[in-house]
Amino acid sequence: MSGHDHDHHHHDHDHSELSETQLRVRALETVLTEKGYVDPASLDLLIETYEKKVGPRNGARVIAKAWADPAYRTRLLKDATPAIAELGYAGRQGEHIVALENTPKLHNMVVCTLCSCYPWPVLGLPPVWYKSAPYRSRAVADPRGVLTDFGVALPKDTEIRIWDSTAEIRYLVVPMRPAGTEGWNEEKLAELVTRDSMIGTGLPKSPKDIAK
């Protein structure tokens, strides 16, 4: 826990840099720690978990495996929670996961119009835009407009299916495997899987995007 303690000490010399919110968060942490309700070492571990361990590379491994292994793909689409747990990813905000298959005729996109529901074990914590009013308001009413904001243009006759995460089901989009990746192993395939392609606001990279 030395990291944040050190930061606190450092910043104590210059309160002018700290916003009201920063000061209030620090004040509350001190109060809760002094009262014995939180252990600062647990806070450090929680932060480290979502900064370093749990993030969209987990989801990329799931998608790459689904691309490379037809039996796994079947299990994932049938019941995603245990299929994802096979790779060791489970738990908070991913207790009940459903995988959504993109096809040439159907594009899936996930939103939470009411708050910020997002499949943490496979994607980590949501980006700011996912939690923002522009995305939450327009994803359900003008998905093609939202995709334009992301630089994505789909064929006019592709059906767009929006999944509003209003309950505790968390959705993971399985994008289409890019062409020109025949024979690639899972590790290499995973490099093509972007976070946004698993939300439905992006597409996977193509082989030439990652060619050095």
Partner 1 sequence: MNGGQDLGGTHGHGPVKPEPNEPVFHGEWEKRAFALTLAMGMPGGWNIDMSRFARENRPPGEYLSMSYYQIWFAGLVTLLKERELVTQKEIDAGHALTPPKPVKRILSPGDVAKVLYRGGPTERQTNTSAAFKPGDKVRMKNINPVTHTRLPRYVRGRVGTVERVIGYQVFPDSNATGAGENPQWLYTVRFEGRELWGPEGDPTTKVSVDAWEPYLEAV
**What residues are annotated to the active site?**
112, 115-117
Q: Does residue 156 belong to the site contacting partner 1 (CB under 8 A)?
A: yes
Region of 61-69, 163-171, 179-187, 204-212 interacting with partner 1 (CB under 8 A): 163-171
114's CB contacts (< 8 A; 6+ apart) are 136, 164, 166
* Burial (Cβ within 10 Å: 0-12, 13-18, ≥19) of residue 40: middle
Q: Does residue 42 belong to the site contacting partner 1 (CB under 8 A)?
A: yes
Q: Does residue 197 belong to the site contacting partner 1 (CB under 8 A)?
A: no
Tell me whether residue 43 or residue 176 sits nearer to partner 1 (CB atom): 43
Q: Does residue 31 belong to the site contacting partner 1 (CB under 8 A)?
A: yes
Exactly one of 2, 13, 16, 41 binds partner 1 (CB under 8 A); that residue is 41
Sign of CA dihedral 150, 151, 152, 153: positive
CA distance 29 to 68: 46
How many residues form the binding site for partner 1 (CB under 8 A)? 80
Exactly one of 113, 176, 181, 188 binds partner 1 (CB under 8 A); that residue is 113
E strands, 49-196, are 96-101, 106-111, 159-164, 169-174
Tell the smallest beta-carbon distance from residue 54 to partner 1 (Å). 8
Region of 70-78, 110-118, 174-182, 204-212 interacting with partner 1 (CB under 8 A): 110-118
200's CB contacts (< 8 A; 6+ apart) are 100, 102, 107, 108, 109, 110, 173
Tell me whether residue 70 or residue 88 sits nearer to partner 1 (CB atom): 88
Exactly one of 5, 12, 51, 69 binds partner 1 (CB under 8 A); that residue is 51
95's CB contacts (< 8 A; 6+ apart) are 81, 168, 170
Tell the smallest beta-carbon distance from residue 180 to partner 1 (Å). 25
